[in-house]
Structure 1
Amino acid sequence: MTKLHGTSRSRSARSLWALEELGVKYEHNPMPTTEAKSPAHLKLNPNGHVPVLEDDGVVVWESMAINLYLAEKYGRNTLWPPEPAAHADIYKWSFWAMTEVEPHLITILRNRVMNAPENRDEKAAQAAVEALKAPFNALEESLKGKEYLLGKNFTIADLNVAAVMSWIPMLKLDLSSTPNVQAWLQKCLSREANKRVRALK
């Protein structure tokens, strides 16, 4: 049995996208983040967060860990290429998205969308926009002459990075100075598996 706990309105969307992309049959428990501190859920994830994956007795938490696990188990020669060097690139880009991009996007999200208007700090949001220029330029250079991050094929590296960057359209961030990034992100987010996830609870 494969079961994913967590609403698609959270980081759980990343793992739901991976499950959909891989064609894994799964049960979805669209648990809101407000229920993640319940005693039952804390037995699965002592940190009290979503997503959590249960897969044939294996329990995995942290969205990136879940996605890497799913790709390695179910996506051999598709989302998970066979070469160890490709695995290194997958780890590299997945961790890059979490450390170089996501913190700045969260700052923008909080100060332009989530926080009450009186608690928003536009200077902090603008500083985060500026801070994203360097990593986006690095991504731009890496995508030159390639369809996807590892070459011709869409892999879990693309899914993980695009999932982190999926807030960009909602935040209306301008990617015109990085056209490779702009085209790549649109292509990734337009995949049918991701569209199905966006229709979930």
Structure 2
Amino acid sequence: MIKLYGTSMSRAARSLWALEEAGVKYEHVPVGFTGETRKPEYLKINPNGHMPALDDNGTFLWESMAINLYIAEKYAKAPLWPSTVEGHAACYQWSFWGMTEMETPLLEIFMSRMRPADQRDEKVAQAGIEKLKTPLKVLDDHLQKSDYLLGKEFTIADLNVASVMSLAPLIQLDLSANPAAQKWLQKCLERPANQRAVAMK
């Protein structure tokens, strides 16, 4: 059976979501932030000491986006994993875009705003907001013409990008200037599979 290591308070949440969407049986192995990822037994699974990690009957993977694309390709059916090479390429494109264009500034804002009050730096948060303006416009422009990233159906591309953007509500990011993206994000995050994933430890 598949084992997914990590807490839903980490990037493991997006892989738990992918497993839930794919409908595959798996075991969730909670891993805490208090040094558990540095224990020798965990480092054998993920030598980086980060979450998540996947054990699929002896196939070990780390990096959440790689795990999600693997889950989709091996276990999911269309439309979650598209049936064409072109659809696969679009999933790779949007997934990598989410990491390279969106994740870093979102994390900058998160780290700036979620620290104790005396350690917060609103200048850093505002710089992150400024960096997000261009990718948010790209996303919003695209979603004005399409229900989801690849068309009318939810795919692993939507899951991956929405999982990155799930930080937006936590940091109270104002998305009102990007209404199509805002509506899409809410629709994605409200999916039952995601609700089950975030409810885990």
- TM-score bracket for the superposition, by shorter chain length: over 0.9
Q: What residue number does 1:69 align with?
A: 70
Where structure 1 has 5 or more consecutive residues not aligned to the other structure, the ranges are none
Answer whether contact 2:109 2:125 (CA < 8 A) is retained.
yes
Where structure 2 has 5 or more consecutive residues not aligned to the other structure, the ranges are none
Distance 1:77 1:7 in 2: 28
SS of the residue aligned with 1:44?
coil
Deviations 1:152-183 (A, max 9, x none): 11000000000000011111111111110010
Distance 1:170 1:118 in 2: 19
C-alpha displacement of 1:110: 0.6
> Structure 2: which amino acid aligns with 1:36?
T
| TM-score, scaled to structure 1 | 0.97
Distance 1:126 1:98 in 2: 20
Runs of 4+ in 1 over 4 A off after TM superposition: none
Q: What residue number does 1:134 align with?
A: 134
Deviations 1:37-92 (A, max 9, x none): 11000001110011001112111100000000000001132311111111111111
Q: What residue number does 1:197 align with?
A: 197
Deviations 1:86-133 (A, max 9, x none): 1111111101110110000110011100x3333321101101011101
Distance 1:29 1:193 in 2: 18
Q: What residue number does 1:87 align with?
A: 88
Alignment of 1:34-113 (within 5 A): 34=34, 35-113=36-114
Distance 1:58 1:81 in 2: 23
C-alpha displacement of 1:197: 1.1
> Structure 1: which amino acid aligns with 2:116?
A
Distance 1:78 1:56 in 2: 26
> Structure 2: which amino acid aligns with 1:85?
E
SS of the residue aligned with 1:81?
coil
C-alpha displacement of 1:144: 1.8
Distance 1:179 1:116 in 2: 31
> Structure 1: which amino acid aligns with 2:96?
F
Distance 1:170 1:119 in 2: 18
Distance 1:125 1:171 in 2: 10
Answer whether contact 2:2 2:26 (CA < 8 A) is retained.
yes
1:14 correspondence with 2:14: yes
Answer whether contact 1:6 1:33 (CA < 8 A) is retained.
no
Answer whether contact 2:22 2:77 (CA < 8 A) is retained.
no
> Structure 2: which amino acid aligns with 1:108?
I
| TM-score, scaled to structure 2 | 0.97
> RMSD in angstroms over aligned alpha carbons?
0.9
> How many residues are aligned here?
200
